[in-house]
């Protein structure tokens, strides 16, 4: 993949290619933004382009260096990832040791540190020492969806490039071309994916749409008036933290849509347009104050689960607070 194959980040790519053209590549980048919107793809493409033998401002994809990069066996393109919950000091020390030597075969050694916010304190301090006195012919690219969790001293030593969520219309057009989807299906995936192409592709290849319909049906049914039935509905929220958070987002969009429809009557403004009848039912049943209260209750539950609170207890409390 080359820069011209990356969809939706024209401004960011133009900035990177300008640096390449001027021969003024910073020793450290921070690519930050929503998960799954192209940060890793852009980082890998930049590393490949820097070492491309064609010496252009985009990778040629055919030279020996590009082929090695595509097969993840280029000696001068390194990846550092979390080992369990954290990126540990050993990974950064290994990086320090490699940087003492000249690149083996490329023009520059490029190290991509994925989920950089997962560095523990010792690893972050070790990386800071590298950034304070960067070895020549080495470039570090940090990738993070949570840059505020990185030390300010590291942030200040990186050229920061923000990757924005893609607009729904642009994303829908991409999905129509890539997956041969019709317009309604592409718009539904685009609106549900929150600006992330990776998320949209994942949803298309999974049973996401069936699961989403189940959650909307749960909300449209009034979340069941019997308290015991409410609790029995918890099994629809999945087991893992990621599954629970995904379903909470869907539930929140139900009440958001009901609020929008109640105030505007515009089906075209709904996220879940294909489930318009159920959204209308929900809108007719609940007054505006209750819709707002439910959105807030789901938001509190989402934040709690995101911070590793007990999932079952959090969902139980939320269920009893929903009106």
Q: What is the mean pLDDT of residues 256-262?
A: 89
DSSP string of 33-68, one letter each residue: ESTTSSHHHHHHHHHHHHT-TT-SSS--S-SHHHHH
Cα Rg of the chain, angstroms = 23
Q: What is the DSSP letter of 277?
A: H
Three-state secondary structure call for residue 323: coil
Q: 215-224, pLDDT tens digit by residue?
A: 888 777 765 5
DSSP string of 106-140, one letter each residue: SSSEEEEETTGGGB-HHHHHHHHHHHHSPPTTEEE
Answer yes or no: are the C-beta atoms of 114 and 87 closer than 8 Å.
no
Q: What percentage of residues in the chain have a pLDDT greater than 90? A: 37
Q: Write down the mean pLDDT value for the chain.
A: 86
Residue 201 has pLDDT above 70, yes or no: yes
pLDDT band at 210; cut points 50, 70, 90: confident
Q: What is the mean pLDDT of residues 81-104?
A: 90
Residue 73 has pLDDT above 60, yes or no: yes
Of 31-45, 99-113, 150-164, 187-201, least confident by mean pLDDT is: 187-201
Q: What is the 3-state secondary structure (H, E, C) of 152-171?
A: HHHHCCCEEEEECCCCHHHH
Residue 313 has pLDDT above 70, yes or no: yes
Answer yes or no: are the C-beta atoms of 45 and 6 closer than 8 Å.
yes
Q: What is the pLDDT of residue 168?
A: 81
CA distance 19 to 212: 44
pLDDT band at 165; cut points 50, 70, 90: confident
- CA distance readout (Å), 179 to 19, 84, 176, 202, 237: 34, 34, 6, 12, 28
Q: 182-196, pLDDT tens digit by residue?
A: 887 788 778 777 778
Q: What is the pLDDT of residue 35?
A: 84
What is the maximum alpha-carbon separation in the chain?
A: 69
Answer yes or no: are the C-beta atoms of 73 and 104 closer than 8 Å.
no
Q: 8-32, pLDDT tens digit by residue?
A: 888 999 999 999 988 889 999 999 9
Q: 239-251, pLDDT tens digit by residue?
A: 888 888 888 888 8
- Spell out the domains of the chain, with CATH numbers in brackets: 3-163 (3.40.50.300), 207-321 (1.20.272)
Q: What is the mean pLDDT of residues 173-180?
A: 84
């Amino acid at each position: 993949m080359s820069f011209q194959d990356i969809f939706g980040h024209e401004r960011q790519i133009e900035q990177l290619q300008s640096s390449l053209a001027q021969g003024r590549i910073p020793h450290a980048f921070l690519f930050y933004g929503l998960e799954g919107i192209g940060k890793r793809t852009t980082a890998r493409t930049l590393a490949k382009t820097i070492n491309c033998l064609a010496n252009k401002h985009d990778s040629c994809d055919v030279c020996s260096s590009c082929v090695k990069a595509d097969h993840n066996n280029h000696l001068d393109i390194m990846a550092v990832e979390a080992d369990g919950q954290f990126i540990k000091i050993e990974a950064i020390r290994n990086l320090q040791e490699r940087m003492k030597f000249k690149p083996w075969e490329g023009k520059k050694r490029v190290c991509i540190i994925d989920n950089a916010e997962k560095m523990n304190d010792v690893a972050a301090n070790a990386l800071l020492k590298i950034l304070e006195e960067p070895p020549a012919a080495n470039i570090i690219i940090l990738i993070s969806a949570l840059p505020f969790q990185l030390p300010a001293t590291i942030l200040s030593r990186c050229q920061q490039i923000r990757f924005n969520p893609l607009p729904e219309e642009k994303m829908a057009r991409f999905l129509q071309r890539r997956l041969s989807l019709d317009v309604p299906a592409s718009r539904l995936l685009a609106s549900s994916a929150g600006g992330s192409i990776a998320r949209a592709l994942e949803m298309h290849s999974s049973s996401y749409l069936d699961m989403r319909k189940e959650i909307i049906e749960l909300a449209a049914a009034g979340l069941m008036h019997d308290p015991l039935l409410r609790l029995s509905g918890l099994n629809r929220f999945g087991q893992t933290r990621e599954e629970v958070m995904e379903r909470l987002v869907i539930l929140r969009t139900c009440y958001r849509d009901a609020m929008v429809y109640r105030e505007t009557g515009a089906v075209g403004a709904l996220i879940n347009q294909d489930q318009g009848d159920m959204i209308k039912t929900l809108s007719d049943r609940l007054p505006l104050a209750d819709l707002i209260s439910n959105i807030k209750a789901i938001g509190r539950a989402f934040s709690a689960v995101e911070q590793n609170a007990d999932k079952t207890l959090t969902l139980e409390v939320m269920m009893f607070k929903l009106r």
